[in-house]
Amino acid sequence: MILATSCDDWLDTTPKAQVNSDKLFSTETGFEDALYGVYTSLTSKNTYGMNMTYGFMDVLAQYYKMDNSHILYEASLYNYDNSKVKDVIESMWLTSYNTIANCDLLLENLEKKDDSFFKENYKEILTAEALAVRAYVHFDLLRAFAPAWRNNPDVLCLPYADSYSKKIHKQKTTKEFINLVIQDLMKAKELLDKIDMVFSDDFKNVNNIFYYHYQSDIGKEFTSYRSYRLNYYAINALLARVYNYMGDKEKAYKYAKYIINLQKDGFYAFTTESELSAELKERDIVMQNELLFALNYPGVHDDWYKNDVVNSTAFIINGIDDIYKISDDFRKTYLTMKNSKDKTISIKYADIDSEKGGKVPMIRLSEMYFIAAESIFETNKKEAIDYLSILRLNRGVNSEISETISYEDFVKELTIEARREFIGEGQMFYWYKRLSLPIDRASDKIDLSDAQFCLPLPDTEVEFGSRSEKYLENLK
């Protein structure tokens, strides 16, 4: 028996250049590394490092003037059958699910380990963040690939990969799927409830949010750099986004309002003009104090630069003056610039050596204002208008909205504002899809069919997962 066990141990060889899961998860640091790995994998160019933010998704949202030699040109025409477009969609899908698989294996191992293995609160934090990333990524896949909620939430669309396995994950209906997203988020929220260090006053001071850490307490870097990760606040904000997607106005408002109210306690704040007008080196190009969740990715500047030097990959803003009607708009004045070829680009990711750059916004404060405004409009029009006005005020835009404005017109106002706000952040396509609005392209509008709003599943997914694409047929 002893011999057998020791033989077993002896046969357990582990790679050196890499590390196998058993060895990685034999230390607490290994768990941290796996979580860092999850966040790092989000920065892939296939997903939030490019295509699910400023790249492919914003091409679909018609932010850019597409040269017909541009590698994403066919995407701007919604030619999802084009082989290049297919490849991008497939890699978005695969990389997203790869991140999810990483979360799943991490969660599986967390569950296996006893609480005593970890420092206080570590297990809760690790579990909550892994759950929240899993929910975040799933939710974005749903927004991209599934039909909008209003179409039919009871049709089978995407698989929810909640276990690390070679077994095929079942395709879920939108409703089932969203419930799983919410379930994961609720679980994460409960885990962090009361123990999350972001409640601490140390996190209040906006200037401390990122730089804050226990300098005397080496070994706590993991917990102290949590301000941009999926912490308790970010999870609440994500819940607001999810309920907003489902049209559950009450809950959406509740969560959005919770975040908005945090400002009173000194958490999060709108970026000031002085922060935006600073020298490029110090300019707050991503408006970092407003970020509830962001990826730390210094490499984004290199990627952007590589795209920007050639026409076939550059992301040139289409109709800057159509987007920003008011020339004083801070976002136009301070957050766009002319590139080396004298074309207007966003500087959120541009290679301008800003100390505050290197981040990819995933959820920002202003989105909470949009959600709150949209959700409360029918019950409290004034409050709704106020939210929009506050936001505009902070962007250097005057806002005079009549109290008699209709819901439809109000949504149009919100859309105009959102389009200004989310440039390069991959949110707008989902916005148009959710609200079934025509897409703004410079001064034009493009009407998309419900089917065009759905990215097709990759061929290999359909073939090897034997997925039903009935929902697409129903939309046609």
Partner 1 sequence: MGNYLEFIRILKRKNSRITKTMKLITLFLLLGMLQVSAEVNAQKGKLDVKVKDVALSELLWQLQENSKIVFIYKTDDLKDIRKVSINLKNTTISRIMSIALVGTNLTYSIENNVVVIKKKTDAQQTQQERHLITGKIIDKSKRPLPGVTVRVKGTIIGTSTNMDGEYKIKVPENSILVFSMVGMKTVEELTKDKKVIDVLLEEDVAKLDDVVVNGYFSRSKDNFTGNAVIIDREDLKKVSSNNLITALQIFDPSFRIKENVDMGSNPNNLPDFRIRGNSGFGSEALSESNLKNNPNLPTFILDGYEVRVEKIFDLDMDRIKSVTILKDASATAIYGSRAANGIVVITTKTPKEGEIRVSYNARFSVEAPDLSDYNLLNAEEKLQVEKDAGLYEDDDLPTKQKSLKDYNNRLRNIRKGVNTYWLSKPLRVPCGQTHSLYLEGGDKSARYGVDASYNLSPGIMKKSSRNRFALGFLLSYNLNDKLLFKNKLTINKVKSKDSPYGDFSDYAKANPYNPIYNDHGDIIKIFRTNVPTSLRFPNPLYEASLNNRSGSEYTEWTDNFNFDWFINNNFRFKASLSYSEKNTTKETFTDPKSARYNNSKYEGDGLLKKGRAYKYDEKSSNLDLNVVFSYKKSFGKHFINTVIGTNIIESNYSNESYSVIGFPSGNLDYISYANEFENKAPDGDEGKSRLAGAFLNVNYSMNNLYLLDLSIRMDGSSKFGSKKRYAPFWSMGVSWNLHNEQFVKEIEFINRLKISANLGELGKASFSPYEAQNVYEFYKNQSYTSGLGACLMALGNEDLKWEKTRTTDINFEIEFLKGLFALKASYYLKKTNDLLSDITLPLSNGFRTYKDNMGSLENKGYELNLRGFVFRNENVILSLFGTLAHNKNTIKKIANSLQSYNDKVDYDQNNNDVERVNGQIVTSKPKIQFKEGQSTTAIYAVKSLGINPINGKEVFVDRNGNITYDWNALDKIVCGDTEPDFSGALGLNADYKGFNLNMSFMYKFGGQVYNQTLVDRVENANLNWNVDHRVYKGRWRNPGDRTFFKDIKDNTRTEVSTRFVEDENVLQFQSLSFSYTFPKNIIKKLSLERLKLTFLMEDVFRFSSVKRERGLSYPFARTFNFGVQIQF
Interacting residues with partner 1 (CB under 8 A): 7-8, 10-22, 24, 29-30, 32-41, 43, 90, 93-94, 97-102, 104-105, 158-159, 161, 164-166, 168-169, 213, 221-222, 224-225, 228, 296-297, 299, 458, 460-461, 463-465, 467
Q: How far is the CB of 222 from partner 1 (least distance, A)?
A: 6
Nearest partner of 52 among 131, 136, 128, 126, judged by Cα: 136
Nearer to partner 1, 113 or 169 (CB): 169
| Closer Cβ to partner 1, 158 or 368, answer by number | 158
Q: How far is the CB of 281 from partner 1 (least distance, A)?
A: 21
User: Is residue 44 within 8 Å of residue 95, measured between CB atoms?
Assistant: yes
* Least Cβ distance, residue 468 to partner 1 (angstroms): 13
Contacts of 302 (CB under 8 A, 6+ apart): 351
Nearer to partner 1 among residue 418 and residue 457 (C-beta): 457
Smaller CB separation from partner 1, 294 or 385: 294
Taking CA atoms, 367 is separated from 139, 162, 169, 391, in Å, by 16, 28, 32, 10
User: Cβ 475 to partner 1, closest distance in Å?
Assistant: 21
Residue 2 or 11: the one with the smaller Cβ distance to partner 1 is 11
How many other CB atoms are there within 10 angstroms of residue 264's CB atom? 7
Q: Rounded CA gap, 78 and 291, in Å?
A: 31
Residues 249 and 166 sit within 8 Å (Cβ to Cβ): no
Cα dist from 334 to 35, 277, 396, whole Å: 34, 6, 11
Min dist. Cβ of residue 167 to partner 1 (A): 8
The residue (of 141 and 239) whose beta carbon lies closer to partner 1 is 141
Q: How far is the CB of 401 from partner 1 (least distance, A)?
A: 40
Residue 212's Cα: distance from chain center in Å?
23
Nearer to partner 1, 118 or 164 (CB): 164
Give the Cα separation of 110 and 363 in Å (integer).
26
Q: Are 178 and 221 in contact (CB under 8 A)?
A: no
Q: 306 with 64: CB under 8 angstroms?
A: no
Q: What is the DSSP letter of 222?
A: H
Q: How far is the CB of 191 from partner 1 (least distance, A)?
A: 21
Report in angstroms how near the CB of residue 289 gets to partner 1 at its nearest.
17
- Please name which of 254, 245, 122, 93 lies closest in space to residue 195, comparing C-alpha atoms: 122
Cβ proximity to partner 1, 216 vs 404, nearer residue: 216
